[in-house]
């Protein structure tokens, strides 16, 4: 640790998954100085699709056409669910701000509207989601109408099989054909990787050769589906070139993780927060966090920075995720919060963590374990009081939700980050509503 006085910030965000990214972005949008610590979390494994709320109640696996009607049902069924505690206008504002910022960073989404959309997955199942990247949106229309359509994959790309998607959909989409082609310049390679293809398609000549190989396969196709490899940083340009070259709508289908859309989302979020002046420590973790009640400031000790680093912040947002993010850990007896040892709401005994049927539709109690907060998103200590007046918690570390089953991963992250940053701005005197 150096002898320099520590840098001081309005807000320190711990975590750089979807919740941490949203919190850093919304802090900067509110004019607050911000440092963010942590790596990209689950974003790398995500599909680029931004779920708001697809399933409610999870035990019935009821799918909703409108995420806002689903939210109304959630508020009645589970008023303690974190998403049910965020006002709908705030959720709308949070998503609009998020997709506007992503668009400015080069990753454009279709206008959000009031409806969920159905998209094809890499295994031919149908996923309900809310925010859809522009490069995938023609697939939503194709899936709705099911016209003659061509799916194409590339020999050697293991993460995606057009044949499997067509087989899974079977006679529910009779006009769906599939073909496999060689990726130009890779004819001798046994195995291909999505990120390499995406980079290669940013080169005009490779793109033109690929389009030429696709043209003779078109026949009566009204649309063409491809694995999500249409560029990394320049997806808009590559996608437009395919549509112009083929003369029909072209859509991407996310491949298995780690997918190119996940890489794009992470890159766009990193670029969006950096462009707004957020100081990022993406190789570092917070080793210790202490609160000075007199000064009204928190001190964070970072590791993973040469020589270590200490920073001081007036507010702290904990966005450290669950077990994979390492915000929560579990030993043989109980679930713990990793950084501060905060109380975790959890089943009374390990025996009740899981149901005997792994696929039970009601899910497992352990997935709803997490932090309890007060109405201002401040984690509570053992006596039920806020741990510190300006410590906030957002995203999947929160209790009373099972984001995987509800299909609300990004929604939970984005909405709670927005609501918590409203509270931060209110306390610090930023420009509140963003
Ligand atoms: C395979 C997969 C697919 C997904 N697909 C979708 C999808 O299609 N649509 C959708 O909406 N969502 C999807 N998600 C969910 C979404 O991307 C987020 O993972 C989820 O919303 C949880 O985000 P989070 O930020 O709360 O936690 P995480 O993503 O787990 O992030 C936690 C962060 O905290 C950091 N951290 C932990 N401890 C410390 C510390 N002491 N110091 C500093 N940093 C720390 C971690 O490094 C990480 O950056 C998917 C997730 C996964 C894993």
**What secondary structure does DSSP assign to 304-321, as a single string?**
SSTT-EEEEEEEEEE---
Whether the CB of 401 sits within 6 Å of ligand 1 = no
Taking residues 137-161, what's their average pLDDT?
Answer: 96
Q: Is 363 or 103 the better-scoring residue by pLDDT?
A: 103
Per-residue model confidence (pLDDT) at position 430: 57
Does the pLDDT of residue 282 top 60, yes or no?
yes
Q: Where does a domain end: 253, 275, 290? A: 253
Does the pLDDT of residue 350 top 90, yes or no?
no
401: Cα within 13 Å, side-chain hemisphere: 33
Residue 61 lies in a domain: yes
Does the pLDDT of residue 42 top 50, yes or no?
yes
- What contacts 88, CB < 8 A, 6 or more positions away? 68, 71
Per-residue model confidence (pLDDT) at position 429: 82
Whether the CB of 197 sits within 6 Å of ligand 1 = no
CATH number at 332 reads 3.50.50.60
Q: Where does a domain end: 253, 285, 316? A: 253
Residues 53, 194 within the same domain: no
* Exposed/middle/buried for residue 404 (C-beta within 10 Å: 0-12, 13-18, 19+): middle
Does the pLDDT of residue 399 top 80, yes or no?
yes
Residue 2 lies in a domain: no
* DSSP β-bridge partners for residue 345: 370
Residue 113 lies in a domain: no
Q: How many domains does the chain have?
A: 2
Taking residues 326-337, what's their average pLDDT?
Answer: 93
Whether the CB of 35 sits within 6 Å of ligand 1 = no
* 265, two tokens: 């989302």
Per-residue model confidence (pLDDT) at position 434: 37
Taking residues 250-256, what's their average pLDDT?
Answer: 95
Residues 243, 373 within the same domain: no
Per-residue model confidence (pLDDT) at position 347: 86
Residue 52 CA to ligand 1 center (angstroms) comes to 15
Residue 41 CA to ligand 1 center (angstroms) comes to 4
CA atoms of 6 and 371, how far apart (whole Å) = 29
**Cα angle 318-324-326, degrees, rounded to a multiple of 5:** 45
Whether the CB of 370 sits within 6 Å of ligand 1 = no
Does the pLDDT of residue 415 top 50, yes or no?
yes
CATH number at 229 reads 3.40.50.1860
Q: How far is CA 319 from CA 108, 232, 338, 354, in A?
A: 25, 27, 12, 25
- What contacts 401, CB < 8 A, 6 or more positions away? 81, 82, 83, 368, 370, 408, 412
Residues 233, 284 within the same domain: no
Segments forming the whole domain that contains residue 388: 7-104+264-428
* Exposed/middle/buried for residue 60 (C-beta within 10 Å: 0-12, 13-18, 19+): exposed
Per-residue model confidence (pLDDT) at position 433: 39
Question: By the 8 A CB rule, do 37 and 299 touch?
Answer: no
Q: Where does a domain end: 253, 275, 306? A: 253
Per-residue model confidence (pLDDT) at position 81: 97
Q: What residue spans of 13-150 are helical by DSSP H?
A: 18-29, 67-77, 88-104, 137-145
- Structure confidence by residue, pLDDT tens digits, 68-96: 999 999 999 999 999 999 999 999 999 99
Taking residues 257-272, what's their average pLDDT?
Answer: 95
Residues 148, 276 within the same domain: no
Per-residue model confidence (pLDDT) at position 351: 75
**Which atom of ligand 1 is the closest one to the Cα of 38?**
44
Does the pLDDT of residue 432 top 60, yes or no?
no
**Which atom of ligand 1 is the closest one to the Cα of 127?**
8
CA atoms of 131 and 112, how far apart (whole Å) = 6
Per-residue model confidence (pLDDT) at position 207: 98
Taking residues 58-69, what's their average pLDDT?
Answer: 93
H or E element that contains 225: strand 223-227
Residue 36 CA to ligand 1 center (angstroms) comes to 14
Residues 235, 328 within the same domain: no
Farthest-apart Cα atoms in the chain, separation: 73
Mean pLDDT score across all residues of the chain: 94
Give the Cβ contact number of residue 17 at 10 Å. Answer: 29
Does the pLDDT of residue 127 top 80, yes or no?
yes
Taking residues 392-411, what's their average pLDDT?
Answer: 96
Of 420, 424, 385, 431, the residue nearest 296 (C-alpha): 424
Taking residues 230-259, what's their average pLDDT?
Answer: 96
* 335, two tokens: 């679930």
Task: Write down the residue that tokens 């078109």 correspond to.
Answer: 218
Question: By the 8 A CB rule, do 38 and 266 touch?
Answer: no
The per-residue DSSP string of 245-298 comes to HHSS-EEEE--SSSPHHHHHHHHHHHHHHHHTT-EEETT-EEEEEEEETTTTEE
Taking residues 225-244, what's their average pLDDT?
Answer: 97
H or E element that contains 418: helix 409-428
Per-residue model confidence (pLDDT) at position 2: 62
Residues 326, 401 within the same domain: yes
* Protein residue with least CA distance to atom 4, ligand 1: 46
Whether the CB of 41 sits within 6 Å of ligand 1 = yes
**Which atom of ligand 1 is the closest one to the Cα of 302?**
42
Of 99, 109, 48, the residue nearest 262 (C-alpha): 48
* Protein residue with least CA distance to atom 12, ligand 1: 409
Taking residues 310-321, what's their average pLDDT?
Answer: 97
Per-residue model confidence (pLDDT) at position 342: 97
Residue 33 lies in a domain: yes
**Which atom of ligand 1 is the closest one to the Cα of 320?**
34
Taking residues 283-312, what's their average pLDDT?
Answer: 93
Of 124, 139, 155, 119, the residue nearest 47 (C-alpha): 119
**Which atom of ligand 1 is the closest one to the Cα of 339?**
41
Per-residue model confidence (pLDDT) at position 178: 97
């Amino acid at each position: 640790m150096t002898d320099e006085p520590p840098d001081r910030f309005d807000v320190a965000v711990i975590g750089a998954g979807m919740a941490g990214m949203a919190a850093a972005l919304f802090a900067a949008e509110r004019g607050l100085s911000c440092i963010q610590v942590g790596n990209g979390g689950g974003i790398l494994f995500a599909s680029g699709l931004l779920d708001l709320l697809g399933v409610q109640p999870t035990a019935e696996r009821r799918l909703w056409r409108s995420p806002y009607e689903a939210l109304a049902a959630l508020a009645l069924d589970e008023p303690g669910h974190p998403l049910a505690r965020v006002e709908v206008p705030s959720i709308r504002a949070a998503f609009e701000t998020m997709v506007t910022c992503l668009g400015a960073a080069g990753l454009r989404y279709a206008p959000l509207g009031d409806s969920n959309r159905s998209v094809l997955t890499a295994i031919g199942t149908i996923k309900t989601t809310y925010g859809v990247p522009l490069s995938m949106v023609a697939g939503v229309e194709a899936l709705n109408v099911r016209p003659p359509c061509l799916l194409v994959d590339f020999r050697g790309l293991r993460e995606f099989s057009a044949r499997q998607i067509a087989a899974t959909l079977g006679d529910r989409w009779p006009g769906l054909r599939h073909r496999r082609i060689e990726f130009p310049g890779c004819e001798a390679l046994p195995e291909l990787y999505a990120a390499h293809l995406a980079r290669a398609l940013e080169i005009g000549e490779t793109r033109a050769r690929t389009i030429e190989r696709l043209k003779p396969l078109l026949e009566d196709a009204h649309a063409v589906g491809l694995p999500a490899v249409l560029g990394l940083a320049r997806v808009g340009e590559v996608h437009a070139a395919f549509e112009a070259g083929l003369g029909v709508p072209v859509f991407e289908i996310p491949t298995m993780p780690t997918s190119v859309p996940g890489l794009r989302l992470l890159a766009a979020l990193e670029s969006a927060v950096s462009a707004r002046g957020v100081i990022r420590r993406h190789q570092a973790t917070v080793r210790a966090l202490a609160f000075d009640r007199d000064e009204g400031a928190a001190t964070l000790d970072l590791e993973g920075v040469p020589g270590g680093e200490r920073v001081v912040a007036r507010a702290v947002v904990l966005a450290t995720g669950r077990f994979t993010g390492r915000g929560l850990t579990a030993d043989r007896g109980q679930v713990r919060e990793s950084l501060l040892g905060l109380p975790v709401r959890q089943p009374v005994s390990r025996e009740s963590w899981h149901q005997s049927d792994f696929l039970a539709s009601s899910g497992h109690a352990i997935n709803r374990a997490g932090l309890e907060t007060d109405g201002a998103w401040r984690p509570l200590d053992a006596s039920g009081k806020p741990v510190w007046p300006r410590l906030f918690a957002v995203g999947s570390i929160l209790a009373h939700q099972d984001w995987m089953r509800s299909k609300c991963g990004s929604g939970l992250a984005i909405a709670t980050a927005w609501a918590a940053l409203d509270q931060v701005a209110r306390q610090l005197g930023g420009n509140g509503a963003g």
